[in-house]
Amino acid sequence: MNILGKAGEFKRQILKNVLILAVVITVFGGGVFFSIFKINASLKTIFNERRDIIARNLSIQSLAALRTESASAQPLLAPLRAKLPSRDELFSFSKKVEDIASARHVQVTFAFGSENSASPDSPASVGFSLSTKSKMADAVAFLADLERASYIMKITSVDLSDEDAKMNGVVFYK
């Protein structure tokens, strides 16, 4: 019985040591897993911050380039502004639109829109809208001729369908 008692105590001792080892491995493994998780989260944060820094750097470089180009463009603005019609001359714009439409066999409905005053960066402008009724080829030719007119304008939207075209834009003046 002495040997059997020692064998049972030996088994208990081995079981106790195995359980202690299992607890140590579990705690250590949990610590390693937690550390890996925290390191991955930190790496993601670092990656996102680095991406944001690169994007800001590119934006700053673009801004610097635009400021440099802006200075070189200033002398070119005076001749462009000189070609702008006065506000009174702008009333002939609707007549010009009608003349171009008539030459292209296009029925046109024209209306001026809201007016924007001049700022240091842009001249004064007035919005306009027009709609046409004609064949598609005539409408496209009308728009091309209108684009070549002596007025400086910006077309903001064009909607072409089978026989109708609608367009919005702004025309600039002094």
Find the domain containing 152 and state its range. 89-173
109/48 same-domain check? no
Last-in-domain residue among 52, 78, 104: 78
97/57 same-domain check? no
60/96 same-domain check? no
Query: How many Cα atoms sit within 13 Å of 110 on the Cβ side?
Result: 21
**pTM of the complete model:** 0.53
107/74 same-domain check? no
3/71 same-domain check? yes
The CA-CA-CA angle for residues 120, 88, 91, to 5°, reads: 110
65/140 same-domain check? no
Can you give the length of the chain in residues? 174
Segment 30-45 shows an average pLDDT of: 92
Segment 136-161 shows an average pLDDT of: 84
Last-in-domain residue among 55, 78, 101: 78
Query: Which residues, including other chains, have CB under 8 Å from residue 164's CB and lie 6 or more apart?
Result: 131, 132, 133
93/71 same-domain check? no
Tell me what pLDDT residue 161 has: 75
Backbone angles phi, psi at 88, to 5 degrees: -65, -40
Residue 56's alpha-carbon distances to 29, 59, 77, in angstroms, are 41, 5, 30
Counting the structural domains of the chain, the total is: 2
Kindly state whether residue 84 falls inside one of the protein's structural domains: no
Lowest-confidence range among 29-38, 41-50, 150-159? 150-159
Kindly state whether residue 4 falls inside one of the protein's structural domains: yes
Query: Which residues, including other chains, have CB under 8 Å from residue 147's CB and lie 6 or more apart?
Result: 153, 155
Q: Output the average pLDDT for the chain.
A: 85
| CATH number of the domain residue 143 falls in | 3.30.70.60
Kindly state whether residue 97 falls inside one of the protein's structural domains: yes
Q: Using the predicted structure, report yes or no on whether residue 81 has a pLDDT greater than 90.
A: no
Query: Which residues, including other chains, have CB under 8 Å from residue 106's CB and lie 6 or more apart?
Result: 132, 133, 134, 138, 139, 142
Q: How confident is the model at residue 5 (pLDDT cuts 50, 70, 90)?
A: low
4/72 same-domain check? yes
98/161 same-domain check? yes
